[in-house]
Chain A
Amino acid sequence: MAMAIKASLLLLVFLSSAIVSFSLYEDQVGLMDWHQRYIGKVKHAVFHTQKAGRKRVIVSTEENVVASLDLRHGEIFWRHVLGTNDAIDGVEIALGKCRNHLHYMWCSAISGYVITLSSQGSTLRAWNLPDGQMVWETSLHSAQISKSLLSVPINLKVDKDYPILAFGGGYLHAVSAIDGERVLQPPESSIIYVLGFLHSSEAVVYQIDSKTGEVVAEKSMVFPDGFSGAVSSVSSDKIVVLDSTRSILVTIGFLDGDISFQKTPVSDLVEDSGNAEILSPLLSNMVAVKVNRRTIFVRVGGEGKLEVVDSLSDETAMSVSLPVADDQVAFASAHHEGSKIQLMVKLVDDLETVLLRESIEMDQHRGRVDKVFINNYIKTDMSNGFRALIVMEDHSLLLLQQGAIVWSREEGLASVTDVTTAELPVEKDGVSVAKVEHTLVDWLKGHMLKLKGSLLLASPEDVAAIQEMRMKSSGRSKLTRDHNGFRKLFIALTRAGKLFALHTGDGRIVWSMLLNSPSKSEACERPSGISLYQWQVPHHHAMDENPSVLVVGRCGSDSSAPGVLSFVDVYTGKEISSSDIGHSVVRVMPLPFTDSTEQRLHLIADTEGHVHLYPKTSEALSIFQREFQNVYWYTVEGDDGIIRGHGMKSSCAGETADEYCFTTKELWTVVFPSESEKIISTLTRKPNEVVHTQAKVNTDQDLLYKYVSRNLLFVATVSPKGAGEIGSVTPEESALVVYLIDTITGRILHRLSHQGCQGPVHAVFSENWVVYHYFNLRAHKYEVTVVEIYDQSRAENKNVWKLVLGKHNLTAPISSYSRPEMFTKSQSYFFAQSVKTIAVTSTAKGITSKQLLIGTIGDQILALDKRFVDPRRTLNPSQAEKEEGIIPLTDSLPIIPQSYITHSLKVEGLRGIVTAPAKLESTTHVFAYGVDLFYTRLAPSKTYDSLADDFSYALLLITIVALVAAIYITWVISEKKELSEKWR
């Protein structure tokens, strides 16, 4: 299929002279792209199973998604992704609301509204339950940041309406469920008790008249030891909290506005107690306390007396209590026993009664149970049944019913933090193409269909058959490497510390693996993944080794927490080895050296300014010591506005015996003035990028040499005032300055200031150019600027004779210590859209022209040819320039609707775009992640080096056969004729 690349270069030149705009036909959708929809880790879940109709569960997640899921299959009915700063604090279903809709009373009791409270309790929204349309939105006044609560009391009825109580920002609001207006006229007076804490050491009780909202009575009492942690309200007049030492349980009674404290040390309840933690579930007259990795249930007696009722070992997740029949209240708890999950539903009043006990086989790589939500239903035999929605440690969501997993969703993939690519294994026993195309008859039939399709003779059924055949026959989901490199694995690391391997063909999960701490010690229970590196990519002399990736994790959220390394085999998804490295991880630097087994050398910098070499082998050490003098690295201190360069100094043998640890010295600093500049963005080139041509030919047969350096750092700074949101400053107050800094010597190679401009800056750095996107306050528009850097020191090498005679300096090593002779060209354009992220396509040899992939605010990805951001564009390009492909200069960049590579789809919550080259030069893999995942294959200059997928081989074959036949026939005829002539 693939022709020689060199031959195709000529074709590329022809192709690139026309404006190539990438677009798809309708029937091509889904052929090489796939899209997966997720919601994220579930925080709250509310079941809606009443009456007939669809059974659904409403969930809100940590990705700020509110969604309605089908309880039967786990599909998404509808979902809404709120903004990144709009975290959902509570979700409830408000029922039984009727409205007078013109002629008839219209009760939406069946449908109801989903009420969400978000943004620290300042925004209250109602969504229509069946279709997810927003019904109303109320913004609540808030004074300060505080914990927010949402509750829909069932017993508080006001004029056919059930008000919603929302607390946030120091205010309590009662809001009507119908239209979101504030309720002012409750018919009967009732008292709402509110208990709050002041300065974490004083308890205050307010009695609020629900009619007027006035505070009827207020009482406060100081608790000298102070409170800490969660609050568990055990009954309508009692709550239990922990004191600040976390060793004494305090029961606070606030009956009739009087406050009483009662202290019970935890050590009285259980022996050898450590720090206690109150678990949040609401259980009546009961509190669950986690002490010493055990969960104890403490019953709160009438006089505030505490007694231990039950205790559960290991990590146990519990649900909130759920009223079941006969005034009984049940709750569910789930914990691990071996490879199984024990799910138990018990009555709160009587812990001996176990309503349900199920054990379910669970995949080890889902980790522990994190959250349980239960729902009851009436079984066919009229007894109570329970179904449980559980959230696992890897963020996956599962529905358990009757001891089985009904459905599961891999919600961990909604929070991808890092992505890398990996090759699939080589096909071992040569499976021929014929095996895929089963029989010759099928094969011919298929091609007949395709022929029909291309001649527009196909009926709709035929079209469907063709589509299906395309999906199947391409073998795109096979688990082996293909000739064009279209089949690959994307290895994604999620926030939960789980690795997923996704197949590029159909997006399925090939394997997944939850990172475990090697020692499972107290200190490092749950390492969180930071980043992902290609550790071993065998291609030359280590072909029998499986490739592997390095996952760098951290035991805790603090940057000085000790790191964890884990090596994972890409083919099998098994952890090869893992280690606690005993030092912190600030930066991981892959070095351009590999050892004899193709393991890449990595340097890991810690907080103390030391660097550590991995792998810890003597071979790696000897390789590193050879290049010791030439290893440099830099750190960016964003808060201080300082960038520092470091060089290697010596082994830190003096301090520790570790021979793989090295001390460094500071070589250069760049200090940005704190009063006028603040670093908002730094960026380097992709280390594995391939640059094909070092030079660019001008129209006047002039050569421009690209300044291609791997050690360039792009830095963008804004005035500290302008670091906020767009529009918060006047143009005079804000300036954006961009820098290109050589990271070896700290030289500022380029410095450009944009007056009256503001961040956020999104940039992409490739070859010798940077493209960045920012906001121009003067023009009230977004702008995109391109900067290209050209090398002047090699500019004399234009003469062909010099090149022929070897009198050039092109092969001389380039040193950063030489004074750089370079110049830059730059140009700015307006861009109509706000941008979330920018990436650039990358191909195997770097020959194919590049496209910018712009993740727009609408969560779509726009492919823009690099030729549109070429600083050589002029208003009136000459004929020669036009032939070269220079587009006449316009003030803004075009947004062509057909060039959205996501076509009609949206990658909700788009966060990043990753590109990876395929083996075929023209093609590049694009993987976008956010809440959703999207993958497609792009050919920025069209597939000039391969035949189209639907190329009719049959037609070609038939033509050849016909030609051969014709040649034979004519030959026979001519022979006959010749013979007859000879006989004449």
Chain B
Amino acid sequence: MPNLTLVLFLSTLLIFSSSSSFAFQSDELLLDDEEFGLEGGSHPRSPEPVITDSPPKQTPSIRRRYSDPDLDSKIQFTLEHAFGDSDFSSAGTFSARLKTWSHGGQTLTKLRFARNEFSDEEKDAFKNLLKGDDFYRIRLPSNVVTPPGREYVIASVRARCLPRDGLDEHIAIHMDGANILAVSYGSPGACPYPRQLKLPGKWTFNSHTILKSSEQAPRTPIFTEEILGSSENMEGEAEAPVERSFWAKYWMYLIPLGLIVMNAVTQASNMAEEQPAGSQGQAPAAIQRGSAPRRR
């Protein structure tokens, strides 16, 4: 199936969808708002294992508020691409729901992505990029409500990073309300440095899209005396030292000792050979003392 496949992530819920309004046919039912049960359902065209990566705290609120249609508004914004230094042209469409919270904040949810297929000229342009190891660039509006907002948010990747079986891309959109701060674009895996020229087997995109919002910093813990006091108690309980083996305790003494003994033995045996006629009792010791530093 050469058509585009879209994967989209929304909190921990994900919806695979394809839209029928573009240059491809989809055999898939359009999703309603309430079909969250799809998580478990296997999808025949799911190209990759599901990746879930989003702030989990959003999940319950989305589920709860989802039936509230008047707070949502459907929006669409386009992904544009450029080959090397060419001008930007449309490459696909994101559609999403913009939820407006009672406190005035806005959140983008239910993001879907419909990727246009490369036309023949675009294929040629992309092949040129691959040959020159040049940049494939994409851009998004910096505000999804009033595109393009202040300015476009641009990202680019070396074209040789994309082709595998098909063309694999990973788009992480960093959001702040209705604003797009930045978009990270690249292949979903590694792209080791001496980039090899490789033409894609299929001219279809496997798109992985992910929305990222800001993480809240944890609050600095404030310890009261009691907590500190109890921690000391805890320490007191844990006072009993773990019994360690003899070797673990004294290895640092044993190893040098062993070396010295071995050294001495070698010395002694050497001596015996050198001086077969047994000399006085203290002589071996004296010679050993004298020669040991020389050896070191």
Q: Which of B171-179, B198-206, B259-267 contacts A (4 or more CB under 8 A)?
A: B171-179
Asked if A817 meets B153 with Cβ closer than 8 Å, knowing A748-B181, A889-B221, the reply is no
A755 at the interface (CB under 8 A from B): yes
| B238 close to A668 (CB less than 8 A) | no
Selected from A666, A752, A793, A815, the residue in CB contact (under 8 A) with B217 is A752
Q: B97 at interface (Cβ–Cβ under 8 A)?
A: no
Q: CB-defined interface of A21-60 with B at 8 Å, one 1/0 digit per residue?
A: 0000000000000000000000000000000000000000
Q: Is the CB of B238 within 8 A of A817?
A: no
A649 touches B85 (CB 8 A): yes
Kindly report which residue of chain A lies nearest to residue B242, judged by CB atoms.
Answer: A879
CB closest residue in chain B, given A747: B184
Whether B216 lies near A755 (C-beta < 8 A) is yes
Q: Is the CB of B222 within 8 A of A891?
A: yes
Contact between chains at A815 and B190 (CB < 8 Å): yes
Q: A671-B142, A819-B189 are in contact. Are A752 and B215 (CB under 8 A)?
A: yes
> A377 CA to B223 CA in the complex, in Å?
68
Closest A-chain residue to B185, C-beta based? Answer: A745
Interface residues on chain B, size class: 35 or more
Other-chain contact of A669, B85, B151, B219 (Cβ < 8 Å): B151
A673–B196 CA distance with the chains assembled, in angstroms: 38
Complex: chain A residue closest to B161, CB-CB: A817
CA of A671 to CA of B148 in the docked complex: distance in angstroms?
12
B56 interface hit (Cβ, 8 Å): no
Are B193's CB and A815's CB within 8 A?
Answer: yes
For chain A, residues 731 to 754, give those with C-beta under 8 angstroms from any C-beta of chain B: 737, 741, 745-748, 751-754
Chain A residues with CB under 8 A of B161: 817
Asked if B220 and A670 sit within 8 Å, CB to CB, the answer is: no
A818 and B214 contact, CB distance less than 8 A: no
CB of A629 closer than 8 Å to a CB of B? yes
Which B122-153 residues have a C-beta within 8 angstroms of A?
Answer: 133, 135, 137, 142-143, 149-153
Stretch of A218-226, A355-363, A823-831 on the interface side: A823-831
A865 within 8 A of B: no
* A751 and B221 contact, CB distance less than 8 A: no
Q: In the bound complex, do residue B150 and residue A674 qualify as a contact, i.e. CB atoms below 8 Å apart?
A: yes
B223 A890 Cβ-Cβ under 8 A:
yes
Q: Which of A667, A746, A753, A891 contacts B182 (CB 8 A)?
A: A746
Given A676-B176, A818-B192, the answer on whether A876 and B181 have CB atoms closer than 8 Å is: no
Within the assembled complex, what's the spacing in Å between the Cα atoms of A482 and B22? 73
- A672 and B154 within 8 A (CB): no
Is A647 a contact partner of B135 (Cβ separation < 8 A)?
A: yes
Binary contact readout A857-890 vs B (1 if CB under 8 angstroms, 0 otherwise): 0000000000000000001101100000000111
CB distance from A884 to the nearest CB of B (A): 15
Q: Using known A-B contacts A751-B215, A817-B191, A879-B242, determine if residue A671 contacts B177 with beta carbons closer than 8 Å.
A: no
Contacts of B184 in A (CB 8 A): 745-748
Is B235 interfacial (CB 8 A cutoff)? yes
Q: Could you tell me which residues of chain A, from 657 to 716, have a CB within 8 Å of some CB in chain B?
A: 665-674, 676-677
Contact with A along B147-171 (1 / 0, CB 8 A): 0011111111110010000000010
Q: Is B231 an interface residue (CB 8 A)?
A: yes
Is B258 in the interface zone, CB < 8 Å from A?
Answer: no
Q: Is the CB of B153 within 8 A of A876?
A: no
Decide: A819 and B190 in contact? CB cutoff 8 A: yes
Cross-chain contact of A673 among B177, B192, B221 (Cβ < 8 A): B177
On whether the beta carbons of B154 and A818 are closer than 8 Å, the reply is: no
Chain B residues, CB < 8 A from A642:
151
Indicate whether A962 reaches chain B with its CB closer than 8 angstroms: no
Contact (Cβ within 8 A) A888 B217:
no
Q: In the complex, A308→B188 CA distance in Å?
A: 80
Q: Given the complex, which residues of A lie within 8 Å of B188, measured CB to CB?
A: 819
Closest Cβ–Cβ distance, residue A429 to chain B (whole Å): 36
Q: Does A316 contact B (CB under 8 A)?
A: no
Across the interface, name the chain A residue whose C-beta is closest to B154.
Answer: A669
A779: chain B residues within 8 A (beta carbon): 220, 222
* B218 located at the interface, meaning its Cβ lies under 8 Å from any Cβ of chain A in the complex: yes
Query: Does B95 touch A at the CB level, under 8 Å?
Result: no
| Chain B, residue nearest A644 (CB) | B154
Q: How far is the CA of A830 from the CA of B188 in the complex (A)?
A: 39
A673 neighbours in B (Cβ, 8 Å): 142-143, 150, 176-177, 179, 181
- Tell me, yes or no, whether B209 is within 8 Å of chain A by CB: no
Residues of A within 8 A of B149 (CB): 671
List the A residue with the shortest CB-CB distance to B152.
A669
Contacts of B1 in A (CB 8 A): none
- Judged by a CB distance under 8 angstroms, whether A338 is at the interface is no
Residues of chain B whose beta carbon lies under 8 Å from any beta carbon of chain A: 85, 133, 135, 137, 142-143, 149-158, 161, 170, 172, 174, 176-177, 179-182, 184-195, 212, 214-223, 227, 231, 234-235, 238, 241-242
Return 28 A-B CB contacts under 8 Å, by A number: A647-B156, A665-B135, A666-B154, A669-B153, A670-B182, A671-B153, A671-B181, A673-B176, A674-B150, A737-B214, A751-B212, A753-B214, A753-B215, A753-B216, A753-B217, A779-B220, A813-B192, A813-B194, A817-B157, A817-B187, A818-B187, A818-B189, A818-B190, A818-B191, A830-B220, A875-B223, A879-B238, A891-B222
User: Which residues in A have some Cβ–Cβ distance to B below 8 Å?
Assistant: 629, 642, 647, 649, 665-674, 676-677, 737, 741, 745-748, 751-755, 776, 779, 783, 785, 793, 812-815, 817-819, 826, 828-830, 875-876, 878-879, 888-891
